[in-house]
């Protein structure tokens, strides 16, 4: 949907100012004004809206604009943080459940889509929804139908859906974390909220507003910035956006005695984030798998180092038996392993070594010494080592997966998957 922004219209300017005052929006950046105007124009329709932007940009205000300027403004408005609801209960929260549908379901319960019938539902962090719930949500968007958990009865609802996310959704789709058909259904009208670093002219305005609010809240004089501090304020990248700016302003208002803030004071409250953390990206591996893999690599390195040390020690003993102490490389003689070996013997090793047994010397020719150790080639398969470690952990804890998972440094879910994957008894 293409929306034309006529910023020269007096009506537009008046309407825009009215919306900003009503919803407490501060700023005049072009990107911000465009986002407000799109929200105002799309409000009169029933189209789904997807709001994108970094965390802390104020995405939660725009669904309210859409709702309040729509024909549904007298209906219910429900905001749902999808990332804060456990995966096992999200379907029940959104679509309701019947009595006895699961343990603890002592009564029937209406879900948010049923309660918000005739109104608007705002799904914040929509990319955090499980794939199974995404299928249910797609059906509601396409047909207005849903089924309570534990029921077979199809119910209808007339709800306007506005969603928001700080996730790079196209990348999440490639990683199999988000349904492509749901993305296009939600993204009928996209609204992008610009980050604070793209609203440089708005930063001093926001700072003054926050400083005034906190001065009134804590009953103290308002803080202000000198010229150097103002330049530092607008040059900072603000990875946490408006939320970070508000927190910094509150900290300075409470902690600092001086009401005139210099650049030196301000910079103490601005951490240096060299790497941008948003939008959130999906990795190919989970945290537990990465941790387990790195610990396993460390363990293998230790084992390989120990094996090399043993081989060096065997070589050193053979050299001692063949050549005696005097012909050994001085660097080897000064090594701790050699000193410990040499100092532990009661007799001095000569070119023809003498080993003391009950005060009776036993002289053996070095050529008669044979290494009878059978060298078995060690398997270097990561999968075999992983299976071996899992089996040992399960044996140690007598099959208790929770304790075994803690011993291995992985989650119980990951351990269960590994047991199933490798068919471990």
Tens-place pLDDT, residues 277-322: 444 444 444 445 555 555 666 776 777 778 777 777 777 777 766 6
Strands (E), 250-379: 260-261, 354-357, 360-363
Half-sphere exposure of 412 (CA within 13 A, CB side): 5
How far apart are the C-alpha atoms of 53 and 55, rounded to whole Å? 7
How far apart are the C-alpha atoms of 111 and 137, rounded to whole Å? 12
Check residue 253 and give its pLDDT.
Answer: 95
Q: Could you tell me the domains of the chain?
A: 10-194 (3.40.50.300), 200-267 (1.10.8.60), 287-368 (no CATH), 382-422 (1.10.10)
Count CB-CB contacts under 10 A for residue 91: 24
pLDDT grade for 8, boundaries at 50, 70 and 90 = low
Residue 355 in this model has a pLDDT that exceeds 70: no
279 upstream amide cis, omega within 30 of 0: yes
DSSP 127: G
Residue in 126, 155, 131 with CA at minimum distance from that of residue 143:
155
Count CB-CB contacts under 10 A for residue 12: 15
Mean pLDDT lowest for which of 22-36, 230-244, 250-264, 267-281?
Answer: 267-281
Indicate yes or no: pTM above 0.85. Answer: no
How far apart are the C-alpha atoms of 58 and 48, rounded to whole Å? 19
Alpha helix positions (H), 144-226? 169-174, 180-186, 203-218
Check residue 351 and give its pLDDT.
Answer: 42
Residue in 317, 391, 323 with CA at minimum distance from that of residue 351:
323
Residue 144 in this model has a pLDDT that exceeds 80: yes
């Amino acid at each position: 949907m293409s929306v034309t922004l006529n910023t020269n219209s007096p009506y537009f300017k008046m309407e825009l100012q009215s919306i900003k005052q009503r919803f407490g929006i501060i700023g005049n950046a072009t990107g911000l004004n465009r986002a407000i105007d799109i929200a105002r124009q799309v409000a009169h329709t029933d189209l789904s809206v997807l709001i994108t932007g970094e965390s802390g940009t104020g995405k939660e205000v725009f669904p309210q604009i859409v709702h309040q300027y729509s024909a549904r403004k007298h209906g219910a408005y429900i905001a749902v943080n999808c990332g804060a609801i456990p995966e096992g209960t999200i379907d029940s929260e959104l679509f309701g459940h019947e009595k006895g549908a699961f343990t603890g379901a002592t009564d029937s319960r209406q879900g948010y889509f049923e309660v918000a019938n005739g109104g608007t539902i705002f799904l914040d962090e929509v990319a955090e929804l499980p794939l199974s719930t995404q299928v249910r949500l797609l059906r509601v968007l396409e047909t207005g139908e849903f089924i309570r958990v534990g029921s077979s009865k199809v119910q209808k609802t007339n709800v306007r859906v506005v969603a928001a996310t700080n996730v790079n959704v196209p990348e999440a789709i490639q990683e199999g974390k988000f349904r492509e058909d749901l993305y296009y259904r939600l993204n009928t009208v996209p609204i992008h909220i610009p980050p604070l670093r793209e609203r440089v002219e708005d930063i001093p305005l926001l700072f003054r507003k926050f400083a005034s609010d906190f001065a009134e809240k804590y009953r103290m004089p308002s803080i202000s910035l000198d010229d150097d501090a103002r330049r530092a304020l607008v040059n900072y990248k603000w990875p946490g956006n408006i939320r970070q700016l508000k927190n910094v302003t509150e900290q300075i208002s409470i902690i600092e005695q001086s009401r005139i803030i210099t650049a030196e004071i301000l910079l103490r409250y601005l951490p240096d984030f060299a790497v941008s953390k948003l939008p959130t990206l999906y990795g190919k591996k989970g945290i537990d798998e990465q941790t387990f893999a790195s610990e396993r690599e460390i363990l293998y390195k230790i084992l390989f180092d120990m094996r090399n040390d043993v081989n060096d020690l065997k070589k050193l003993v053979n050299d001692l038996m063949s050549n005696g102490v005097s012909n050994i490389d001085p660097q080897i003689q000064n090594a701790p392993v050699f000193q410990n070996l040499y100092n532990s013997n009661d007799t001095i090793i000569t070119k023809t070594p003498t080993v003391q047994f009950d005060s009776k010397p036993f002289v053996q020719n070095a050529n008669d010494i044979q290494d009878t150790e059978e060298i078995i080639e060690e398997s270097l398969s990561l999968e075999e080592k992983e299976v071996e470690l899992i089996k040992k952990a399960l044996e140690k804890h007598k099959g208790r997966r929770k304790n075994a998972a803690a011993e291995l440094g992985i989650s119980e879910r990951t351990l269960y998957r590994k047991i199933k994957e490798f068919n471990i008894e």
